[in-house]
Structures are given as structure tokens and as C-alpha cells.
């Protein structure tokens, strides 16, 4: 990646920019790239953001610690200081009532209208690949805006047809969500290592919004299994500002815990986090 920033930093910044000031977001500890985006937004353009933190030990509202790595290695900080404990069950209930403004989700597969698969590929009885599970993908139908992201971009991730549909995007395309009275507007964008897609087309099919610096449009089209809507002019993704990079690197995620979400960076990140824990012990 040119210009003094890394791909994970670019993706994190692009995800952060999807957040609006005042959003209520459900967030799980296990997805630190999304966590870093959330914290970055809170400490730049969205100070009024509040979030539910599904920690490994405590479920709470807007823990005050700004450094994700510390939240990960000192789980009690998710409890105190925070706005208060909130049960997992209550947050699911609130979400069911349409109370969540934005949700980040990293599915296994995404199709052309933003439907997702998070569970299995192959038969139900003996699947070829078993993944994490529904997670909260089924709540996609109820969440205000869903920002999908993936850390690999190929035909397996973006197939013509999903193994199973465990979360609804725009279903068959068009106005499905409006027809069933879904409270949210569904998938808003998809952030990938190559590009940003959105669904700003009449039939809600994925459209190429921007390509990352150094990536060309043909490369994205070739790596995408379904047919992507490609406008005549595709701009380059806006690079991170100096402020965004500084806040991300020094305040929000100095341990780069977000690397846990990238296959090639995961092992190093685990070792770095373990070393940070050992240094404090």
C-alpha cells in the first residue's frame, strides 16, 4: 500500500467513516477491526456514538477505556468504568425493537444484493466447512444500517449463490425490505481489501463505489463471483487523514489488535497481545 499507511488502516478508517455521530452500535469483542473503527469514529467525527460492548466477561454500555488492546487484555475494564452493565438478552431485545442504528458484520459469503452466509457451506448433516454460526446475522433485517466487511476478496467470498442465507440483505433485490416493513435500510456498504461497494442502485444490486489506491477496476471485477455494477467513473477510496492515522495508531489500537481479523497477520497479533499481557503481570 502506498502513501505511508497499511491496508488494515485504510479499511479501518473507511469503516469508521460509515458511522454517524449519535449512532447506537452493538459491538462484540471478537471483531477488533470493527472495534477499532468504532473507537476511531468516537474519537474523531462521532463523539456522540454509544455502544453495547459484548466483552468476554462483562456486557456493558460504552466502556470508557479508549485502547482496544487494554479492553482485550484487562476484561474488567469493560465493566468499570462504563455507563453500566447491560445483559446480552436485553441488547437482543432492543435490537429486535429496531433500536440498533448500525452493525458491522464480517460474513463468510456475501451475494450481489447483500444477503450473507455465516454458518456452513455444504450439507446440513456433514458440511464441507463449518464456520462461526449465525452470530447476529439474522438481526440484519432489523438493524438501521449494516456495514459488511471482509478481509479477503475472491469468488468464494462473493459467489453467485450462497450456501445458506443466514442474514438478509435486500433478499431478491428491489424493495423487499420496504414490503415486509423491516425497520432498517439493510446493507449500506461492503468494505473489502480491494474496494468499497454499496447498494445505491434501483434494484439494490452491489455497485462499485471506490477502489483502493493501487487497485484497478478489472482486478475487482475478476475477483468478484457475482456481476458487480460498475459506474463509468470509479473514484479511488479516500485515504486516511493524518489525524485518523494518529488516533488509530496511538489512542485507539496501539497494539494493532485489529490484525486478529486478517489471516496473515493473526499469529503475530496474538503473540503481541500475549507479550503485552506478560509485561504487565
Which parts of this chain interact with another protein (CB under 8 A)?
A: 29-30, 54-59, 72, 74-76, 79, 85, 87-90, 92, 95-96, 119-120, 122, 124-142, 164-168, 171, 176, 180-181, 257, 260, 270, 273-274, 277, 280-281
Give the C-alpha separation, 281 to 273, whole Å: 13
Q: Which is nearer to another protein, 152 or 219 (CB)?
A: 152
Minimum distance, C-beta of residue 272 to another protein, in the bound complex (Å): 11
Cell numbers at residue 208, please?
A: 462499485
Closest CA to 47 of 76, 16, 1: 16
| Distances, alpha carbon 262 to alpha carbons 37, 106, 223, 237, in Å | 15, 11, 18, 20
For helices 32-42 and 7-16, the axis angle rounded to 10 degrees is 60
Cell numbers at residue 199, please?
A: 447498494
Give the C-alpha separation, 51 to 31, whole Å: 14
Q: Which is nearer to another protein, 162 or 188 (CB)?
A: 162
Residue 64's DSSP bridge partners are none
CB neighbour list of residue 7: distance below 8 Å, 6 or more residues apart: 1, 193, 212
Phi, psi torsion values for 109, nearest 5 degrees = -135, 145
Give the C-alpha separation, 260 to 34, whole Å: 11
Minimum distance, C-beta of residue 154 to another protein, in the bound complex (Å): 19
Q: Which is nearer to another protein, 17 or 165 (CB)?
A: 165
Minimum distance, C-beta of residue 255 to another protein, in the bound complex (Å): 11
Q: Which is nearer to another protein, 146 or 195 (CB)?
A: 146
Minimum distance, C-beta of residue 139 to another protein, in the bound complex (Å): 4
Minimum distance, C-beta of residue 235 to another protein, in the bound complex (Å): 32
Give the number of C-alpha atoms closer than 13 A to the C-alpha of residue 100, restricted to the C-beta side.
27
Helix, strand, coil in percent for the chain, rounding step 5: 30, 20, 50
Scanning the structure block, which residue is given the C-alpha cell 432492543? 94
Q: Which is nearer to another protein, 30 or 229 (CB)?
A: 30
Cell numbers at residue 196, please?
A: 468499497
Q: Which is nearer to another protein, 29 or 215 (CB)?
A: 29
Q: Which is nearer to another protein, 147 or 196 (CB)?
A: 147
Minimum distance, C-beta of residue 18 to another protein, in the bound complex (Å): 21
Minimum distance, C-beta of residue 188 to another protein, in the bound complex (Å): 17
| Distances, alpha carbon 232 to alpha carbons 207, 210, 229, in Å | 11, 12, 10
Q: Which is nearer to another protein, 88 or 156 (CB)?
A: 88
Minimum distance, C-beta of residue 23 to another protein, in the bound complex (Å): 19
Amino acid at each position: 500500500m502506498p502513501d505511508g499507511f497499511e491496508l488494515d488502516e485504510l479499511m479501518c478508517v473507511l469503516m469508521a467513516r460509515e458511522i454517524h455521530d449519535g449512532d447506537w452500535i452493538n459491538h462484540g469483542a471478537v471483531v477488533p477491526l470493527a472495534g477499532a473503527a468504532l473507537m476511531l469514529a468516537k474519537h474523531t467525527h462521532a463523539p456522540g456514538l454509544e455502544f453495547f460492548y459484548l466483552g468476554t466477561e462483562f456486557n456493558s454500555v460504552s466502556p470508557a477505556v479508549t485502547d482496544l488492546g487494554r479492553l482485550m487484555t484487562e476484561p474488567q475494564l469493560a465493566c468499570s468504568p462504563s455507563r453500566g452493565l447491560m445483559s446480552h438478552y436485553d441488547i437482543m431485545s432492543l435490537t429486535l425493537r429496531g433500536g440498533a442504528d448500525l452493525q458491522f458484520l464480517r460474513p463468510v459469503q456475501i451475494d450481489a444484493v447483500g444477503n450473507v452466509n455465516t454458518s456452513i457451506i455444504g450439507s446440513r448433516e456433514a458440511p464441507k466447512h463449518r464456520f462461526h454460526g449465525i452470530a447476529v446475522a439474522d438481526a440484519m433485517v432489523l438493524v438501521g444500517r449494516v456495514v459488511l466487511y471482509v478481509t479477503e476478496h475472491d469468488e468464494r467470498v462473493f459467489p453467485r449463490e450462497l450456501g445458506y442465507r443466514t442474514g438478509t440483505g435486500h433478499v431478491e433485490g428491489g424493495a423487499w425490505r420496504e414490503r415486509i416493513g423491516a425497520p432498517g435500510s439493510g446493507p449500506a456498504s461492503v468494505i473489502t481489501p480491494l474496494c468499497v461497494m454499496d447498494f445505491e442502485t434501483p434494484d439494490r444490486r452491489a455497485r462499485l463505489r471506490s477502489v483502493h489506491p493501487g487497485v484497478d477496476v478489472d482486478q475487482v471485477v475478476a475477483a468478484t463471483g457475482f456481476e458487480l455494477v460498475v459506474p463509468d467513473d470509479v473514484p479511488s477510496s479516500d485515504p486516511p487523514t493524518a489525524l485518523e492515522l494518529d488516533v488509530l495508531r496511538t489512542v485507539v489500537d496501539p497494539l494493532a489488535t485489529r490484525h486478529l481479523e486478517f489471516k496473515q497477520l493473526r499469529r503475530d497479533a496474538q503473540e503481541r497481545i500475549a507479550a503485552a499481557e506478560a509485561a504487565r503481570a
